[in-house]
Amino acid sequence: MTPLTPDAVAQTQAHFFTDQQMATLRRLSEILMPPLKKYPGATDAGTPEFLDFLIGASPSDRQHLYQSGLDRLDAEARQHFGIAFASVNKQQADQLLRPWLRTWMTDHPPTEQYAYFINIAHSDIRTATINSQPWSEVATASGKRTPDVGLYWFPVDPDLHREAPSPLHQPARTKQHS
């Protein structure tokens, strides 16, 4: 039996971000990582929905970073262009994003809060996309080494009394994004 991963056939149900934040994140993902050459873009790879899951399960400081960052991005779009960030075109998005792009090294992202959000979100969007099954399938078909294949360690003799990890954050299921 060759088991499938759920992403091969299923969509992630997004529950954490508000409708507006989710729309902002989707547009941000499209802008930062569009489809290129034969490789899927972030939205084709289910990245926004995956990040909704990941950030929803994250500690509160990470959640706040994304929520406040997405809110600010949307607010700036409305302020500058009179439209939601979800509706900006590429040139408008560039005007809002480029001033905050930085070069940085591992473990030392920009310290200013909004620059931190923009650059971390960019990095997360890239990682979630490149580590997706659709990306991997294109790489394999192109004869390239499948990105980020690694040696996974299972728990070794796990402690019988081990405290289970904190339950993943379960936001209200009333939020179902289109």
Partner 1 sequence: MPEEKVDVLIIGSGHSGGMAAKVLTEKGISCLMLNAGPIADVRKDTEVKPAYALPFRGFKQPGILPHVFQSNEFNANTWVDEKEVPYTYDPQRPYNWVRVRLFGGRSLFWSRQSFRLSDYEFKAKSHDGYGDDWPISLADVAPYYSRTEAIFRVQGRADGLPQYPDGNFVPDDSPWSESMQRFIASGKRMGVPVCKARSSLGVDGLASSVNLLLPDAFATGKLRAIPNVVVRELRADKNTGLINEVHFVDRLSRREMSVKARVVVLAAGTLESTRLLLNSKLANSSGVMGHYLIDQVYGPGIVCSVPEARDGKATPELNGGGALIPRFRNINSKEKNFIRGYALNVYSSNGPMDPRNFAAYGEELQNKLDSYNGSGFGTSIMGEVLARYENHVSIDKNVVDAWDIPVLRIDTKYTDNEINMARDAVDTSVAMAEAAGFEVLAKNYDPNPPGYSIHELGTCRMGDNPKTSVLNKWSQSHDIKNLFIVDGSSFVSGGWQNPTISLVALAMRASDYLAEQMRQGNV
CB 124 within 8 A of CB 45: no
Nearest approach, Cβ of residue 32 and partner 1 (Å): 5
Distance CA 153, CA 46 (A): 26
Near partner 1 by CB under 8 A: residue from 87, 113, 142, 146: 146
Nearest by Cα to 25 from 60, 2, 51, 53: 51
Rounded (10°) angle between helices 47-56 and 60-81 = 130
Q: Of the ranges 18-26, 58-66, 67-75, 76-84, which one interacts with partner 1 (CB under 8 A)?
A: 58-66
Between residue 79 and residue 108, which ones bind partner 1 under the rule CB under 8 A? Answer: 97-98, 101-108
Interaction of residue 57 with partner 1, rule CB under 8 A: yes
Output the CA–CA distances (angstroms, integers) from residue 44 to 12, 26, 135, 137, 140, in the order listed: 12, 11, 9, 13, 17
Nearest by Cα to 45 from 152, 116, 162, 128: 128
Interaction of residue 54 with partner 1, rule CB under 8 A: yes
Near partner 1 by CB under 8 A: residue from 156, 172, 173, 176: 156
Q: Residue numbers of the site for partner 1 (CB under 8 A)? A: 5, 7, 31-34, 36-37, 50, 54, 57-59, 62, 97-98, 101-108, 119, 122-124, 126-128, 131-133, 135-136, 146-157, 159-163, 165-166, 168
